[in-house]
Amino acid sequence: MERFCLGILTAALASLWLPAVPNPLWPLLLLLSGVLLRQFYLAGISAFLLSLCLNHQLDDQARQQLLAEHTTFVAGTIISIPQSYDIGSRFILQLHETVKDKPQLAAGRLLQIRWPQTAISPKQGQRWQFQLKLRPVRGLANPGRGISEANALVQGVLLQGTVVGSDEVGAAEYLGGTAIWRQQVYDALQQQLAAYSTAPLLIALTVGERPFSDDTWDGLQATGLAHLISISGMHIALVFGWLMLLMPLWRQLPLTAKQRYVLGWLTALLAAWLYCLLAGWAIPTLRAMLALAILVALKLCHRRCSGWRFSLVLTAGLLLWQPYWLLSLSFWLSVSALALVFLLAWRYPIPTRPSVTVATNEATTASTAWRAFSWRNVYLRTRYLRTMLWHFLRYQLFFSLLMLPLGLLIFDGVAPLALISNLLFVPWCSLLAIPLLLMVFLLQQLSSVPLAWLWQGIDWIYQPLWWWLQYAATSDAWWSLPQQTPYVAILLVATASCCLLPHRLLGLTLAGIGCVPLVYALWLPVLPKLHLVDVGQGTAVVLQQGRHGLVYDLGPRYGSYSATKQQLLPFLRYVGIRQLDFVLISHDDSDHTGDPTVLKAAYPKALWVSDVKRLRPDLNCRQLPGQWQQFQLQQLWPAKDGVGRSKNDSSCVLLVSVGAVKILLTGDASKEVEQQLRKLYPTLNADVLLLGHHGSQTSSSLRFLQQLQPSLALNSAGWQNPYRHPATEVVATLGLLQIPLWNTAEQGAISLTFSDQQLILQSVRHGRLVKWLENLPEHAETRTTTR
């Protein structure tokens, strides 16, 4: 069994490096060979690959069938609590067997729906029929951000769709059904807790929804407490453990010892199941519930299993059942944390209580001797409590230290406050705050009137945590670090593990040797870089020299969506830009001006350069310094004798030079401006060109490209954007001149690193570990008759 499970884990990790998912026939043949030859390690490898291939093939077939429909009508049940926005709502829809009395394709599958209307508030549990415009799930690809495609596979989401139609609410028809209990609880809590500042925390720990503000998210990241506020396996295990502590109460029931034993385990399992139901059966809670169910089954059957073997079989079984979970960061964090718990429990076992005796003529048990009062017992108890406190501190220290490399690999940063935050608030919440919250919630469910005074007390209990999160959010306590490779993480884990060796001097020596390559990396020269951030249908360019940065355009802002806030600002923090020297806005267009207030608040010392007067810039475009760090800056347009006749033709055209390499940024300048540039600068050339107006046919004329003779063309556009950028004409012109094109819609964020020897070109999608994830079919979106 162990060899079979190890084969599954080996295949799961190795599949991350697969260029493409193979045909299921080959894993099937390997599985049969492994079984016949009794090579169970090979059988485990082939079993996982077969499961992955079959799931991938079935999903691909269902995806193609739905996208092949000219007009897609779907019927299903809303299975998630809808998230409301100022322009509509989003939710997960599970498809029914039939739609309009006809069999429905991909029945039982999940779709991510966006409903752009505010007249109706959908509820979880309701059944609806929609007319949708469907397309594969695909998000923006910037370093340090989550992978939307992987998250969709983990959640079981097949496609994403937008409700369309000519009326106010779109082509939607209510088919019946009422809000389920979880939705009713969520709505009631929002009303009852609206007056309390800690309401987002209370709702998150009750029903699993996290209506957090950006400041709260920043605080959770900076303190390393996101795992504490999100209902996960730890919370399910806590509820299970609390109920197990109540087992002595069953002694009062007229039952046999065996019946009380069974009742205690099943009651704890039922409480955990109810908490999972309340949390919406999120994947972490589902994993924890399966683990507890197996544990209870083993206990009731009186079967013994070591912790290592239990973890190995559980992890392998989950991956074999749901192979896409290998793409889940939370899954590997849970597996690593569980393995680390067993490792630390083996290396640092819990201290045993010292034995004490009492002077008495009667025989006494150890427990009565321990409770007997004497000064010696007081001393022993004090020393034992001090030993337990040191054990807890040492355990938490090594746990945080050994989890640091994995967190650095996944989150690309370090939270210096994580250790003290976990030391303070994990015991606080586990032993006091969460139990009292769930008790008050249970009483509220049994009461017909609001228990305001109890909720007020819960709010007071959570105030220290809330204050700590608010402080961390404003203290710049998150240290963003450059993206690390898995090999660096392995080196960090090996280095930290040396501290666990029995011989402390040897462990510290080996740890010091392991840090040498990391320290050497800090002394490497800082090279200038240019980043083209993936902001969708818009433009955002970042020039970087170490901790200093210059931004050219801020990306789009549409309604409540701000690419400046959700993409550009996290990118600046990720690449380590602490000081933003200049912000240049090329012209007054919403897909370039973005959200200036966000950047001004984050970098108040930055100088703003623009000809857009409403932004109140510090300098106009012609006043931009000609030298910044190692970059030479030359403003080419607008000319001194006039500006363009339109917004696009007023774009600030900038020529950036680093050594012998020249990059031309043209904003949305049209062919007319390109013609003027050819007249004003007859010797103008560039090695890299950012296509004007996102690759529109109004820019990038043949003569302009022939004069520039760029060796690379970059473009910033949204995937399947309604403007069909880059235009077919522009792509054909680039092909005619044999100029390669890198588009953010295809490559994600693009980075150019300038060194003395060469120009290093990198993109996020090309650099991702899971190559076959990027090769998911990208069929054209479905068309509807209303478009």
Percent of the chain with pLDDT over 70: 88
Q: What is the mean pLDDT of residues 477-496?
A: 67
User: Above 70 in pLDDT, residue 183?
Assistant: yes
For 532: left if phi > 0, alpha if psi spans -120 to 50, otherwise beta; the answer is beta
Residue 694 lies inside a defined structural domain of this protein = yes
Same-domain status, 573 and 494? no
Phi/psi of residue 314, nearest 5 degrees: -65, -50
Residue 195 makes CB contacts below 8 A (sequence gap 6+) with none
Write the single-letter amino acid at 216. Answer: T
Residue type at 752 in one-letter notation = L
Phi, psi of 673 (to 5 degrees): -65, -40
- Which pLDDT band, with edges at 50, 70 and 90, does 338 fall under? confident
* CATH of residue 104: 2.40.50
Which DSSP letter does residue 429 get?
Answer: I
- In the predicted model, what is the mean pLDDT of residues 110-131? 91
DSSP, residue by residue, 192-261: HTTT-TTHHHHHHHHHS-----HHHHHHHHHHT-HHHHS--HHHHHHHHHHHHHTGGGGGGSS--HHHHH
Round to whole Å and give the CA distance between 420 and 78. 41
Residue 131 above 50 pLDDT? yes
The yes-or-no verdict on residue 715 having pLDDT over 80 is: yes
Is 467 part of any domain?
no
Query: Taking the CB of residue 169, how many other CB atoms lie within 10 A of it?
Result: 16
- Tell me if 342 is assigned to some domain: no
Counts for the chain of helices (H) and strands (E), in that order: 30, 27
Whether 137 and 14 share a structural domain: no
**Mean of the per-residue pLDDT values for the chain?**
87
Q: Is 762 helix (H, G, I), strand (E, B) or coil?
A: strand
- Look up residue 299 and give its amino acid: K
- Do 551 and 621 share a domain, yes or no? yes
The Cα–Cα gap between 671 and 696 comes to 10
Instruction: State both tokens at 295.
Output: 């544990």
Distances in whole angstroms, Cα of residue 575 to Cα of each of 340, 481, 541, 578: 30, 7, 13, 9
pLDDT, tens digit, 9 for 90 and up, residues 28-63: 998 999 888 889 999 999 999 999 999 999 999 999
pLDDT of residue 499: 67
CA atoms within 13 A on the CB side of 736: 12
- In this structure, the answer to whether residues 510 and 534 fall within a common structural domain is no
Total structural domains within the chain = 5
Q: Is residue 135, in this structure, part of any structural domain at all?
A: yes
Does residue 503 share a domain with residue 620? no
Is the pLDDT reported for residue 481 higher than 80? no
- pLDDT category of residue 423 using cuts at 50, 70 and 90: confident
Give the tens place of pLDDT for each residue, 288-304: 999 999 999 998 988 88
Boundary residue ending a domain (66, 86, 114): 66
Give 565's pLDDT tier (boundaries 50, 70, 90): very high
For residue 442, the tally of other CB atoms under 10 A from its CB is 11
Q: Which residue in the block uniquely carries the two structure tokens 């549990």?
A: 125
Position 772 in a domain: no
The secondary structure of residue 619, as a DSSP letter, is B
Residue where a domain stops, chosen among 66, 84, 117: 66
Distance, CA of 292 to CA of 272 (rounded, Å): 9
Could you tell me if 569 and 686 lie in one domain? yes
Q: Could you tell me the pLDDT band of residue 781, with boundaries at 50, 70 and 90? A: very low
Which domain does 378 fall in, by range? 348-414
**Chain position carrying tokens 């427990």:** 367
pLDDT at 365 over 80: no
Residues 606, 684: one domain? Answer: yes
Does the pLDDT at position 524 exceed 70?
no
* pLDDT at position 359: 52
516 CB neighbour count, 10 Å cutoff = 10
CA pair distance 380, 355, nearest whole angstrom: 9
CA distance 553 to 676: 23
In a domain, 437, yes or no: no
**Boundary (domain end) residue, out of 37, 66, 95:** 66
Q: Specify the pLDDT at position 646.
A: 80
Together in a domain, 58 and 88: no
Read out DSSP for 680-748?
Answer: H-TT---SEEE-GGGG-TTS--HHHHHHH--SEEEE---TT-TT-SSPHHHHHHHHHTT--EEEHHHH-
Bridge-based pairing state of the strands 688-690 and 661-665: parallel
Closest CA to 611 of 626, 629, 630, 592: 592
Share of the chain above pLDDT 90, in %: 55
Q: Is the pLDDT of residue 16 over 50?
A: yes
540 with 511, same domain: the answer is: no
Is 223 contained in some domain? Answer: no
Q: Which of 669, 660, 656 is nearest to 696 (CA)?
A: 669
- Statement to judge: residues 606 and 695 lie in one domain: yes
Scored b (16 or more CB within 10 A) or e, 226-251 reads bbbbbbbbbbbbbbbebbeeeeeebe
pLDDT confidence of residue 785: 28
573 & 511 share domain: no
Residues 409 and 533 in one domain: no
CATH number, domain of 654, equals 3.60.15.10
Position 403 in a domain: yes
Residue 551: helix, strand or coil by DSSP?
strand
Beta-bridge mates of residue 750? 532, 763
Q: Is the pLDDT of residue 700 over 50?
A: yes
pLDDT (mean) for 74-101: 90
pTM: 0.86
